[in-house]
Chain A
């Protein structure tokens, strides 16, 4: 089977997986949470009003009918109305999604570019003091839980020194005309700095260690000896020849990390009160806001599936030994 057939089949697989996840989510949410009307209806409300609310959200129908209504709505892009906000979920999620992305993407970009290069360096300088220090530092930063480093940084840079704001995305009150207007302000960048630093410090350790590990494997291969025999400089061998062959696990890891990043780092968003998708999802699960929580899950699932799909395609480009079948 050729490349095109493979892509087609994988696309179908992605859709099927998504369907399984949607089903799973639906039943998990309906069976796992207490009566959703409780979250919507205050205690003193009359039974008639309660019925009205239940009808409006389709909660009085049998479970299987709810399921098909749910599937039809998802396919038509109708994600429902948030119980809590009384507004369409799509709009709410769109904003939260962007908020999370402007936090996570810079952080991951910083972490992976630096982590990868450091990983090559550490493999190259194996056995030296530099490697020892590098690995130790990487492990230490990777060992500290993000919410804890976040709390420490807030205490140190936010409260003691007063250099950076400690919570939120911008100083309130604030009015912006558009999204770009929101993010390209000095105030926003000041708010962004601490959470990005915390996430990047944590994430950089993994690509560094994986890169170092795979590099050490690759350096045992014959072609490295040939490169040396050809008289290539060590720098050229390490960064051009060995690194290219060691990229595979890093690519996997990067795709996974970006996929997971869609959900945001809930703890970082909690600590920094960052109004992102992770914080929103947590709130939604806590308040039994089914449409919002499900849509958040779906968004994450879809992003992860797409990125895994992309990773599989990139494999072939990076490692010709992998054969599509």
Chain B
């Protein structure tokens, strides 16, 4: 019988499509449970953050933060005409226009990351990845054909003209003359990150490793400057003065003849600078750094915010700074980053579900084996020996039945600590009752049949009759009960965890649903509810499907006709 079972097991399962499906799913789940750290995309306990465009205003002597004006990082910002209008550009083709007190998204024909924006006479120019240049003329955004594919980092337009300079990677410089863009030879290979174009015949371009170029309206000349730090921004309000800032608080000053280093108060990267008057300037950088120069002295200004600032522009007494705002990505819908979305604490649901398979399978199999072994034997003995044995065993079963599972588990939890062991014991010790009862009622009927009497007359011992003659007849039921037990144990584990009786800090599918219920967000956050439930369902169904095949195997009378 045993060898037959082993030999036919695979054959039967291969023949039964559903059972094959069940075995395949279970194998996958076991693999997922074992390899959870590899399969999961995030740490299930990590709060995931997200980036969003933020704007800081400096008006009437104080900084005001305007949160979340766009979905993406804002790389640059500029005022235009007067202080009432402004443009900001950011990643993924984000162009925002500020007018009449609010930010509006502009429709532009691209989705590449946009790095800088400049404003000139009836012209707004935006530059970005892949040599993209956008121009806004007469209210229309158009893409300009450029001779390069490099990422363009900066643009500046000479005031009152339509002449512009653009800088990009690997020494790329483009200029706009008479409505067309042409490449200017620099001879440099460093990335150029910023440009300032205060007049038609004067321009400044800076880049990595302290590269500085001067533009005289026709050609570029490289300046000899000591140092090797990357320069991120440059600003020249007039032709004879400029400021450049860069890596680790670097500040360079130009006074009409030469560049010289200035002492700055910051050690962090400075991303943007505006020189307002000869001895007045403001620079911004990562982690909310804002520094201000007054009468030649730099001072730190603390706003209390720690958001990365990337761009700045000044107009009159006003300043505007743009940047990114990392925040907890809570209750996000499913996306490429988070396949099943996130929880109210910004945790990745997919990873939680992956780790949750461990608890489900552990509890499911351990508890079910306990249930099957205890239940089948109790059922056999009670049904066969009847009388006192039956009475005693059935009284124990009755007592077990009178203890409701959930409150019983809760008492166990109160007696010790919440944990998977408690759940395994609660399920294992309490639920063998059903198996015992069902097996017993079958054995009661079997024991009254002639073949048992015949065996007894033939001199078989009780145990032999029990395990050799009766047991094979109840095997289909026992296997059905084993499968039902695995399914029940997995469901019970989910149920108990759902009621908050599971171990803390270990994810199970029930715990995930428990958290969803506690947060109150479950009524709308379908992506939080569906995955754990579907997995419980798939697991349990797979076990059922396997049990169907086993049922045919252990009782040939059930074979397909």
Contacts and interface: CB of A to CB of B under 8 A. Distances in A.
A in complex with B: yes
Interface of A: 13, 16-17, 20-21, 24, 28-29, 32-34, 126-127, 132, 135-136, 139-140, 142-145, 147-149, 151-152, 154-155, 159, 166, 209, 213, 216-217, 220, 248-249, 252-253, 256, 259-260, 263, 266-267, 270-271, 278, 281-282, 285-286, 293, 296-297, 300-301, 304-305, 308, 315, 319, 321-323, 325
A159 B523 contact: yes
Contact of B406 (A13, A149, A266, A293): A266
Given A127-B561, A249-B441, A323-B448, A259 B401 contact: yes
Contact of B557 (A132, A220, A249): A220
Nearest to A264: B404
Contact of B18 (A24, A34, A136, A315): A136
B426 to A, nearest CB: 13
Interface in B518-561: 522-524, 526, 529-530, 532-533, 536-541, 544-545, 548, 551, 555, 557-558, 560-561
Interface residues of B, number: 62
A278 B407 CA distance: 9
B113 to A, nearest CB: 37
A127 B536 contact: no
B499 to A, nearest CB: 7
Given A139-B545, A152-B533, A249-B438, A33 B399 contact: no
B402 A319 contact: no
Given A33-B414, A127-B560, A152 B537 contact: no
B504 interface: no
Contact of B498 (A32, A136, A267): A267
Contact of A144 (B445, B536, B555): B536
Given A155-B524, A259-B401, A266-B406, 6 more contacts: A21-B403, A147-B498, A220-B557, A253-B438, A267-B406, A308-B401
Contact of A17 (B399, B407, B438, B476): B399
14 contacts: A32-B415, A132-B18, A139-B545, A140-B541, A142-B540, A143-B536, A148-B513, A151-B529, A159-B523, A220-B558, A249-B441, A271-B517, A282-B407, A325-B386
A151 B519 CA distance: 14
Nearest to A135: B548
A257 to B, nearest CB: 10
A139 B549 CA distance: 14
A148 B437 contact: no
B551 A281 contact: no
Contacts of B555: 217
Nearest to B406: A266
A248 B442 CA distance: 9
A261 to B, nearest CB: 11
Contacts of A135: 548
Contact of B445 (A248, A293, A325): A248
A319 to B, nearest CB: 6
Given A139-B544, A305-B402, A148 B407 contact: no
A322 B27 CA distance: 44
Of B406, B487, B517, most A-chain CB atoms within 10 Å: B406
B363 to A, nearest CB: 14
Given A21-B402, A139-B541, A322 B391 contact: no
Contacts of B406: 266-267, 278, 282
B523 A300 contact: no
A311 B509 CA distance: 36
Nearest to B391: A13
Contacts of B541: 139-140, 143
Contact of B407 (A152, A155, A297): A297
